[in-house]
Chain A
Amino acid sequence: AIQLTQSPSSLSASVGDRVTITCRASQGISSALAWYQQKPGKAPKLLIYDASSLESGVPSRFSGSGSGTDFTLTISSLQPEDFATYYCQQFNSHPRTFGQGTKLEIK
């Protein structure tokens, strides 16, 4: 199974900061990667698919990049509603796997 390793596991930042979360795959997955945001008690929300495509309705301050084994999610200017946990997921092969998550907290 393909393993996804996110870094950091947690992150403290302030409103207005630029934040980058990375996701590394244990083997190449082309661009078959998505990013989700999850808030406590809620279902995950799709932000980015195919590594860099912005899901409809998602603010443009979110962006994704990468291919192969190394991927990043960037939030250009943090807003109060962005404090949440973020997960990457690969779709290159089964079993589908998620990263362990990155918890973004207010500094």
Chain B
Amino acid sequence: EVQLVESGGGLVKPGGSLRLSCAASGFTFSSYSMNWVRQAPGKGLEWVSSISSSSSYIYYADSVKGRFTISRDNAKNSLFLQMNSLRAEDTAVYYCARVNPYGSGSYDYWGQGTLVTVSS
């Protein structure tokens, strides 16, 4: 069974840092591109970042470029999101999601999400 479990969320002050993790199981993690998607309270979905299977290709939303860093450890079946210089507008539930191997890039499995709250 495919499972994605996020962790690392919490309350942080503006300007602070946080590192999110996503533990993957039930599939060959090293073969899949992965993504972070966030959702601010009561708002819609916002794509944050993508990383290819071998980390060769990395993309960021303009809203986080220069502040967030996506990475992965294929040996440990884990995806990460290092978030620096956090702002109030980064407050959201952060989901990790796997790219659908049968589609052109849709996300077929999602974690349950981890809440990041940026507030003083």
Interface residues of A (CB under 8 A from B): 1, 31-32, 34, 36, 38, 43-46, 49-50, 53, 55, 87, 89, 91, 94-101
In angstroms, Cα B32 to Cα A90, docked, is 18
- Assuming the contacts A96-B47, A96-B50, asked whether A32 and B108 have C-beta atoms less than 8 A apart, the reply is no
- Assuming the contacts A95-B59, A95-B62, A96-B50, asked whether A46 and B45 have C-beta atoms less than 8 A apart, the reply is no
Known A45-B110, A97-B47, A99-B44; 11 more pairs at CB < 8 Å: A34-B103, A43-B95, A43-B110, A43-B113, A44-B107, A46-B100, A87-B44, A89-B45, A89-B107, A91-B105, A91-B106
- Asked if A98 contacts B45 (CB within 8 A), the reply is yes
Q: Return the chain B residue nearest A34 by Cβ.
A: B106
Query: Taking the nearest CB of chain A, how far is it from the CB of B87, in angstroms?
Result: 18
In angstroms, Cα B43 to Cα A100, docked, is 8
Looking at the complex, which one of A44, A53, A96, A101 makes contact with B105 (CB distance below 8 Å)? A96
Looking at the complex, which one of B45, B50, B62, B100 makes contact with A44 (CB distance below 8 Å)? B45
Residues 60-113 of B contacting A (Cβ, < 8 Å)? 60-62, 95, 100, 102-108, 110-113
Which residues in A have their C-beta under 8 angstroms from that of B106? 34, 46, 49-50, 89, 91
In angstroms, Cα B103 to Cα A46, docked, is 11
Which residues in A have their C-beta under 8 angstroms from that of B50? 94, 96
